Amino acid sequence: MSTLPPCPACNSEYTYEDGTQLVCPECAHEWSATASEAPGDDAKVIKDSVGNVLQDGDTITVIKDLKVKGSSLVVKVGTKVKGIRLVDGDHDIDCKIDGIGAMKLKSEFVRKV
């Protein structure tokens, strides 16, 4: 017997699989089987270059010279950045750097302090 989760809408145990979807025959609710496998784990985990999990408010250092888009400024390797904020997107860290201002960084180019 497979162990399908009960219907999240009406709690029916008679759910069945239809491709990648789960379907409830009692209330006709359909949902994704993959999403229900990891309840409460929808928050994206952002890690630095060495695998430390980053959180809002962390202090990081830059591990590589980074050019600031649209200017001649460069964020030098070793630059310390306080109070980062994690965001969605290709550049997943929002922060403010002394002497440069607000900018976005990629987590792969930073290291938690």
Alpha-carbon dihedral sign for residues 86, 91, 52, 33: positive
Binding region for Zn ion (CB under 5 A) out of 26-34, 48-56, 86-94, 99-107: 26-34
Q: Does 24 bind Zn ion (CB under 5 A)?
A: yes
Residue 26 CB, nearest approach to Zn ion (Å): 5
In the bound state with Zn ion, the residue whose beta carbon lies nearer, of 14 and 101, is 14
Binding region for Zn ion (CB under 5 A) out of 25-33, 39-47, 61-69, 85-93: 25-33
**Cα(22)–Cα(64) distance, rounded to whole angstroms?**
46
Considering only 5, 9, 65, 101, the residue that binds Zn ion (CB under 5 A) is 9
Q: What angle do CA 93, 79, 84 make, to 5 degrees?
A: 25
Q: Does 22 bind Zn ion (CB under 5 A)?
A: no
Strand partners for 104: 94
Whole-number Cα distances in Å, 64 to 99, 103, 112: 17, 15, 14
Name the site residues for Zn ion (rule: CB under 5 A).
Answer: 7, 9-10, 12, 24, 26-27, 29
